[in-house]
Amino acid sequence: MSPILLILVFIIATFLGYKVISEVPTLLHTPLMSGTNAISGVTLLGALVSTAFAASNKSKTLGFIAIVLATINLVGGFAVTDRMLKMFKKKEAVNK
């Protein structure tokens, strides 16, 4: 594939992703965030597998960077989801 076609696909995917996310109602945001975390887990596994089979040092370095970024995305996503779910829990009554 030509680099111009790849850039065009990236731009279209970015635009469509933004439009889809901006139209999500607040009530559905937390379940979708959990689904996104699952996808990030798959991304992390893909990065691990591709790094394990990398032939050159350059590919291994890029794979390591992909592992680090996917891990940050996964952990951050779970932290945000946990924080959002805490907002829906009832606060305990304070005894005076």
Assess if residue 37 is contained within a domain. Answer: yes
Assess if residue 44 is contained within a domain. Answer: yes
Res 28: pLDDT:
74
Rounded CA gap, 63 and 17, in Å?
Answer: 24
Residue 94 has pLDDT above 60, yes or no: no
Indicate the number of domains in the chain: 1
pTM of the model as a whole: 0.61
When pLDDT is averaged across residues 40-62 and rounded to a whole number, the result is 91
Assess if residue 21 is contained within a domain. Answer: no
Tell me the pLDDT tens digit for each residue of 72-86: 988 888 888 788 778
Tell me the pLDDT tens digit for each residue of 7-42: 999 999 999 988 888 887 777 776 777 777 778 888
Domain that holds residue 47: 27-95
Q: Report the residue count for the chain.
A: 96
Assess if residue 91 is contained within a domain. Answer: yes
Per DSSP, the residues of 8-65 read: HHHHHHHHHHHHHHHT--HHHHHHHHHHHHHHHHHHHHHHHHHHHT--SHHHHHHHHH
Assess if residue 53 is contained within a domain. Answer: yes
